[in-house]
A = this chain, B = another copy of it.
Amino acid sequence: MQFEIIAQDKKTKARIFKFKTKSGTIKTPFFMPVATKATGKFYDSNDMKKIKVKAIIANALLLSLEPSAAVIKSLGGIHRFMNFKGIIFTDSGGFQMYSEHLFLGVNENGIRFRNPFTGQRILCTPEKDMQIQLDIGSDVAMCLDDMPLYPAKKERLIQSVKRTIAWAIRCKRYHDKHNNINQLLFGIVQGGTDNSLRKICAKKLSTLKFPGYAIGGLAIGEPENLMWQATKVTLKHIPEKTPKYLMGLGKPYQLLKAISLGIDIFDSRYPTKTARHNQVFTFSDSTLKLQRKIYKDDKNPIDKTCNCPVCQNYSRAYLHHLIKIKEPNVKRLLSLHNLYFYQCLMEKAQESIEENKFHKLLEESKQWN
């Protein structure tokens, strides 16, 4: 994979490069809305076109349960299935070890899950997981990783790192052999908040020469300073000239802070989850809680400076009304606004890196915390 830096911030490690995939090329840093089951929650692919979304992340394991990798393949792959023409990442399923109603157990072979649709038990091995992601046809596949919950004992973290490395080797071997669709495969570094384990995992995965690296197992409840420490240690031991993806992050300030450390790619439920709780981000007035009575007769859009389809069409008063009457579609409207805000935030990050003003944007972004 070619790796060509377009711009590099002078004061931080923030950078811009062109990220190339079979579905197109986009500039980093970028943020991916979560489309776990090949759809946004409360919104659809057609909506995504209107809010500048260029890349999303779906979940291979969950899609293999419903509608199944075979169905998606027979329908021409995930892009056609969900009618999204941008870049699609698929996460492997390691994260679903968090899911009480799916996860059954884990050993060296792989992860055992229960299919909630059929009741059937399934074993997800690195090889099977690679085949699922190839069948689904995403642009970027993720290695199957063994993700410990937080907090985890040292012993569990050691086991997780060993397995994550062993599985990464198996994933890479299988993927190299069967990848006939020009799909990229990213490695995932585990190790919790243990610096030495993060180092071991990062160094080992680096030898496998993945076209990109993700940092997994963070933003799951650990203290924020430990998260940054683990991020820094990991970044130190993976090749600089590769795309870096910090999985599951986060808040606006966290995104910019991570960019300053050298992270390029993000995904998070945060903007849509907050939207579903009626909280919206603005460049004009920081964050707003639209259920508050003060918005009852507020003629203004959420953000006067925003060009999203929600700000172009509706007032705060109207959105407040939809919240009051519990209209489900308001969750969609506020999600679209917040996702558009995140896309604009990434554009602003790119502009500020190009203009060497990134530190100013980083400082400003504290207002949304």
Contacts and interface: CB of A to CB of B under 8 A. Distances in A.
A81 B45 CA distance: 27
Interface in A314-357: 314-315, 317-318, 320-322, 324-325, 327-329, 331-333
B329 A39 contact: yes
Nearest to A71: B297
Interface string A18-59: 000000000000000000011111111110000000000000
Contacts of A41: 327-329
B83 A313 contact: yes
A105 interface: no
A296 interface: yes
Contacts of A332: 329, 332
Contacts of A313: 44-46, 83
Nearest to A66: B324
A46 B309 contact: yes
B67 A317 contact: yes
A82 interface: yes
A292 interface: no
A178 interface: no
Contacts of A82: 318
A75 interface: yes
Nearest to A314: B83
The quantity of this chain's copies bound in the complex is: 2
A299 interface: yes
A45 B39 CA distance: 22
A308 to B, nearest CB: 11
A166 B44 CA distance: 50
Interface string A60-88: 00000011000100111000011100000
A47 to B, nearest CB: 8
A318 B83 contact: yes
A324 B66 CA distance: 8
A329 B328 CA distance: 9
B40 A329 contact: yes
Contacts of A322: 39
A307 to B, nearest CB: 14
B325 A71 contact: no
7 contacts: A41-B327, A42-B329, A66-B324, A67-B317, A75-B297, A75-B315, A81-B321
